[in-house]
Amino acid sequence: MRHFIGKRAFASGLSLIGLVVLVFFLSRLTGDPTALFLPLDASLDSRERFRELHGLNDPLLVQFAHYVWDILNLDFGDSIRKARPALEVVLAAFQWTLILALTTIFFVTTSAIIIGSLAAFYAGGIFDRVATFLSLIGASAPDFWIAIVAIVLFSVNLGWLPTSGTGTIWHWIMPVAVLFIRPFGLVLQVVRGSMMTALSSAYVKTARAKGVRVRPIIFVHALRNALLPVITVIGDLSAGMLNGAVVVETIFGFPGVGKLMIDSILQRDFTVVLAAIMVSAMAIFLMNLLIDIAYSVLDPRIRY
């Protein structure tokens, strides 16, 4: 296992280096941040001074060499717009994204596994039809629409929940719920499909013939074998969420890393973009590692 983790870390490190090089040069192609930082009528002198101050007049390769040297010294540089360390800016935003993503994934996983398993067991029945219908609606509905409708309904009309923000636990209900709906629909369908295959296996039939009760059959015997594809899908969804939930963060005023990254790209705040990509990439690497470990725990045949 240690060897496997080492190999994975090495491969991820190489990907990360490639990503940083690519993003560094591609981001520079998008233009000069001077135009966005200074007022339109700022003099050419002021613009020149800004470029000089932030090293934007140096040749691109010199800028890259400075950047690499700084990273080797664990210095990600300062945000041009926020005048503070880029890594500090990103980590402050990432903690919000992490909590939002983990909370949502927890609810998605538990509810989709329970409901999807039952739907598979009672395949073709009312419960299955209702669960499938609702999950397909959920998987098809756009986040921004659900978010706005939820605000109009639960905040403006009913007055039950605050429209946005992060102050209390009530503020988290709508963002988590909106973020929950689409992945829930998708994971539920995967659980249902995978469970139907598992439930039709010979060992399940044998268990039923031996008189094993329903609950152990579903949640002990069949589920463990059905979980591998489910974990793959959840891992993929989690990676997306760790990159930030831009729509939800924008509408609900969540200071997460997705909105930060989009704003930083639009404002050409290169150091923040690069730091955000590094942090997200590290998080995704760790999560993929956890998923690989989960595979081997669930299926003893998988050995690294």
Partner 1 sequence: MRKLSLGLLGASFALTMMAPALAEDTDVTIVLSEELDLIDPCMASQSNIGRVVLQNISETMTELDGSGGGLKPRLAESWEPVDSDTWRFKLRQGVKFSDGTSFGAEDVAHSLKRVVAEELVCEIGAKYFGGSTITTEIIDEHTIEITSDPAQPIMPLQLSGLTIVPSETLMEYTREPIGTGPYQLSEWNVGQNVILTRRDDYWGETPAVTKATYVFRSDDAVRAAMVATGEADFAPKISELDATNPATDFAYPNSETVYLRLDTMIAPLNDIRVRQALNLAIDREAFIGTIIPAEAILATAIVPPSTIGWNADLAVPAFDLDKARALLAEAKADGVPVDAEITLIGRTSNFANVTEVMEALLAMYQDAGFNMKLEMYEVAEWLDFYSQPFAEDRGPQIIEAMHDNAKGDPVFSMYFKYASEGLQSALRDSKVDQMIADATAATGDERTKIWSDLFAYLQDEIAADVQLFHMVGFSRVAERLDFTPTIATNSEIQLSQIGFK
Q: Which residues lie near partner 1 (CB under 8 A)? A: 30-33, 35-46, 49-50, 53, 79, 81-84, 92-93, 96, 148, 151-152, 155-156, 159, 162-170, 250-253, 255, 259, 266, 268
C-beta closer to partner 1: residue 162 or 235: 162
C-beta closer to partner 1: residue 53 or 62: 53
| Smallest separation (angstroms) from partner 1 to the CB of 282 | 21
| Smallest separation (angstroms) from partner 1 to the CB of 105 | 21
C-beta closer to partner 1: residue 43 or 210: 43
Place of tokens 């756009």: 142
- Separation of CA 103 from chain center: 12
| Smallest separation (angstroms) from partner 1 to the CB of 73 | 21
C-beta closer to partner 1: residue 48 or 70: 48
C-beta closer to partner 1: residue 132 or 164: 164
| Smallest separation (angstroms) from partner 1 to the CB of 159 | 7
| Smallest separation (angstroms) from partner 1 to the CB of 85 | 12
C-beta closer to partner 1: residue 73 or 168: 168
| Smallest separation (angstroms) from partner 1 to the CB of 279 | 15
C-beta closer to partner 1: residue 67 or 252: 252
| Smallest separation (angstroms) from partner 1 to the CB of 63 | 18
C-beta closer to partner 1: residue 84 or 213: 84
Q: And the tokens for 236?
A: 């993929």
| Smallest separation (angstroms) from partner 1 to the CB of 47 | 8
Place of tokens 């009309």: 157
Contact 89, 272 (CB under 8 A): yes
Three state DSSP letters for the chain: CHHHHHHHHHHHHHHHHHHHHHHHHHHHHCCCCHHHHCCCCCCHHHHHHHHHHCCCCCCHHHHHHHHHHHHHCCCCCECCCCCCEHHHHHHHHHHHHHHHHHHHHHHHHHHHHHHHHHHHHCCCCHHHHHHHHHHHHHHHCCHHHHHHHHHHHHHHHCCCCCCCCCCCHHHHHHHHHHHHHHHHHHHHHHHHHHHHHHHCCHHHHHHHHCCCCHHHHHHHHHHHHHHHHHHHHHHHHHHHHHCCCHHHHHHHCCCCHHHHHHHHHHCCCHHHHHHHHHHHHHHHHHHHHHHHHHHHHHCCCCCC
